[in-house]
Structure 1
Amino acid sequence: MSEQKLTSNPRGIPSSPFVERVEDYVSEAEPVEVVLKKFQEAISKYKFMEVNLLQRRKVLEEKIPEIEKTIAMVDLLTEKQDSQEPLYTDFELNDTLYAKAKIEANGSVYLWLGANVMLEYTCEEAKDLLTSKLNTAKNSLKNTLEDLEFLRSQITTMEVNTARVYNWDVKQRRLLREQQAASAVETSA
């Protein structure tokens, strides 16, 4: 394969070269089979990255609404903070299990941070933290979607490259057979 400087997207996923001239990629040192194997390996790597990004997208698409829901609850608690009347709500214990809860707004909230860690924050601090996490998650989702689009383009390019090299090889083999047949006719005449 001829050495070309490959670029990459902003997150470091390398772009695939487009094979304009198959002769630049196939040589005595790198026969068609080796080039095709390299292209298939590249396609496999791109597809592996795509699977990981699809999983990441799914997690982010679930996480963003949860953060937004938590921000809305912090806003509600902030709003009810000056009121002396308690707030009654259904508290989610599990996906399908709820309990009645009486909430008395006292200006602070507890947030799960993960890894069995919960911390107390003022409503203002909680909103700042959650807004920051929401912005990070939305930015990460945007980057993930861009990367998925980029990967699909690279996979398509490599599949086209594979087809071009394969078709070129078929054509070269046919020309070789025709030349051998023509030279066999000449030697027998």
Structure 2
Amino acid sequence: MDANPRGIPRAPFVDDVDKYMKTDTAEATLRKMSETVSKYRFMENSRLQQRGSLEHKLPEIEKTLAIVGYLRDKRGTQEPIETLFEVNDTLYAHATVPPADSVNLWLGANVMLEYTTDEAQELLASKLSVAKTSLEHVVEDLEFLRDQITTMEVNIARVYNWDVKQRRAQSGVSA
């Protein structure tokens, strides 16, 4: 069974239901297919959470990169920078910042490190590139998963209809 580039398996399409149903009962087959759909839905929910997280991080990284670029451009002057900075979601403070050659960046897990403006710009550009690539992969995975879920739902309907036909044929009722 082949898979997408990140290892999500492709759902098989049941072309010939009579041939496919030679190995197992309809109930067992429908149960297995339903489990597969559940697994795909779990992966889809996981990717949706990843997409939300990345869509939240990207603007923050871009904003920080722009600020570091601005500070980098001002580092040769002695002119202080007048700014408003965010203390909390709804609280801002006025500040006068002297030109500096370094910045402090939050790395996560309550860790902050000091970088030169050049290093900070490199780091943030790298993080932005990785985040954009990750977002592209997540979106591709979501499209792939939707296709696999649809394929499995079609398979379930075909096996169910096949089972109904078989039961009618056994009981002698015509369709």
1:118 aligns with 2:117: no
**Aligned-pair CA distance for 1:35:** 0.2
Q: What per-residue deviation string (whole Å, max 9, x for no partner) do you get for residues 111-148 of structure 1?
A: 01111111111111000000000000000000000000
| Map of 1:17 onto structure 2 | 12
Structure 1 stretch displaced more, 95-104 or 47-56: 95-104
SS at 2:12's partner residue? coil
1:79 aligns with 2:73: yes
Q: 1:51 aligns with which of 45, 52, 60?
A: 45
Query: Structure 2 regions of 5+ residues with no counterpart?
Result: none
TM-score by length of 1: 0.89
Structure 2 Cα separation of the partners of residues 55 and 105 of structure 1: 39
Matched residues, percent identical? 59
**Aligned-pair CA distance for 1:24:** 2.8
- Alpha-carbon contact 2:65-2:125 (below 8 Å) kept: yes
Moved over 4 A (4+): none
* Amino acid in the other structure paired with 1:16: A
**Aligned-pair CA distance for 1:61:** 0.3
Structure 1 Cα separation of the partners of residues 142 and 80 of structure 2: 47
- Alpha-carbon contact 1:25-1:35 (below 8 Å) kept: no
| Map of 1:142 onto structure 2 | 136
Count the aligned residue pairs. Answer: 174
Query: Structure 1 regions of 5+ residues with no counterpart?
Result: 1-5, 182-189
**Aligned-pair CA distance for 1:83:** 1.7
* RMSD, matched Cα: 1.3
Q: What per-residue deviation string (whole Å, max 9, x for no partner) do you get for residues 14-50 of structure 1?
A: 01000001123323x5100000000000000000000
TM-score by length of 2: 0.96
Q: 2:123 aligns with which of 121, 129, 136?
A: 129
* Amino acid in the other structure paired with 1:165: V
